[in-house]
Homo-oligomer: A and B are copies of this chain.
Amino acid sequence: MARVYASSVIPAPASAVWSRIRDFNALPRWTPFVAESRIEQNLPSDKVGCIRNFSLKDGGRIRERLLALSDYDMSCTYAILESPMGVENYVATLRLIPITDGNTTFAEWTAEFEAEPAREDELVRTIGQGVFQAAFNSLKARFGR
């Protein structure tokens, strides 16, 4: 099992950041790499168990199931069902914590998955930098830094 960890500081209050990212169908609005997204079966995007089905700007398609959503902890956990990445048992959690000193937000994204041993390191780098950090950078830009 491989593990990815990325964390950042978003220059906005946690409630504002959470409003932006809480919607499980909103990846096109806050990440730079998602072209369009829909929730399968027209379910509400905050119904635990729903599936988002989205296409990447580079053409790939990913399906992910919402496993947990918390307005209390400002966190969400999801699993990859299908993707072009060749990962198994992929589960990720995105979580926000308020930074009281300056009223900004600590954002943390973790993932665990299995893959062919020879590909693990490259996948950890791609997911950590190309997905999680890229999304953080996009959030930071949107909130003005």
Contacts and interface: CB of A to CB of B under 8 A. Distances in A.
Interface in A43-73: 43-44, 46-49, 67-73
For chain A, what secondary structure do more than half of its interface residues adopt (helix, strand, loop), or is it mixed? strand
A108 interface: yes
A2 B1 CA distance: 6
A28 B36 CA distance: 41
B48 A99 contact: no
Contact of A99 (B2, B9, B100): B9
A104 B102 CA distance: 16
10 contacts: A1-B2, A7-B97, A8-B100, A8-B102, A9-B102, A9-B106, A68-B68, A70-B70, A97-B108, A101-B133
